Amino acid sequence: MIFRATGIDGAYLIEPERLSDERGFFARTWCAEEFARRGLAADWSQCSASFNRRRGTLRGLHYQAPPHAEAKLVRCTRGRVFDAIVDLRPGSPTRNRWFAAELSADNGLTMYAPQGFAHGFQTLEDDSELFYQISAPFHAQAVRGLRWDDPTIAVPWPLPDPTISERDCALPLLETLPC
């Protein structure tokens, strides 16, 4: 696996090293040793999937509040998405900065977001699916989010007029979050 720095402390875009031949390829998508060597979460509590029927669907920006903060390892297993993370960690030198990349079943890229990051994505194709490895169990009382169109963060979502849930539209702006 090739760990590419994102410019945000502790967050990585991970490229699998594919061993290819006439049959196709084989690649590791996660290795506890390599993650632990970099000081990254290497103990996953749950795995989840998100299937999205329509191009332009936008989900996020979501996170869990401490003490249930979660690291996420996200890859696209079908279709193509614009995947974004935002550093919300108090005291972080990269607080409030975002990073985004296109994840697809074809490119095999994986986004690693440490604890204290919000995560969201917009589908670039119909029938897109994401697979999540998550470091902490789901706690409904810890669910939080940040508005997808927050002007302070200004993530440049690629498609206009996204399909987005009422819940995500009602998420707070960054300026109203506690420090």
List, in sequence order, every residue forming a beta bridge with 86; answer none if it has no partner: 98, 118
Residue 96 has a pLDDT of 94
Joined together, the tokens standing for residue 159 give 């498609």
Work out the average pLDDT over 114-123.
97
Joined together, the tokens standing for residue 130 give 């994401």
- In the chain, the domains with their CATH numbers are 2-176 (2.60.120.10)
Q: How far, CA to CA in Å, does 29 sit from each of 32, 36, 110, 123, 131?
A: 10, 14, 8, 21, 11
Residue 43 has a pLDDT of 87
Q: Where do the H-state alpha helices sit in the chain? A: 32-37, 166-169
Residue 41 has a pLDDT of 84
Work out the average pLDDT over 45-61.
96
Residue 179 has a pLDDT of 59
Joined together, the tokens standing for residue 85 give 């993370």
Please check whether residue 97 is in contact with residue 55, taking contact to mean a CB–CB distance below 8 angstroms: no
Q: Is the pLDDT of residue 178 over 80?
A: no
Q: Provide the pLDDT confidence category of residue 177 given band limits of 50, 70 and 90.
A: confident
pLDDT digits (tens, 9 = 90+) for 123-164: 999 999 999 999 999 999 999 999 999 999 999 999 999 999
Helices (H) and strands (E) in the chain, counts: 2, 13
Q: To the nearest whole number, what is the mean pLDDT of the chain? A: 95
Cα gap 158→123, rounded to integer Å: 9
Residues tagged active-site: 62, 132
- pTM (2 d.p.): 0.94
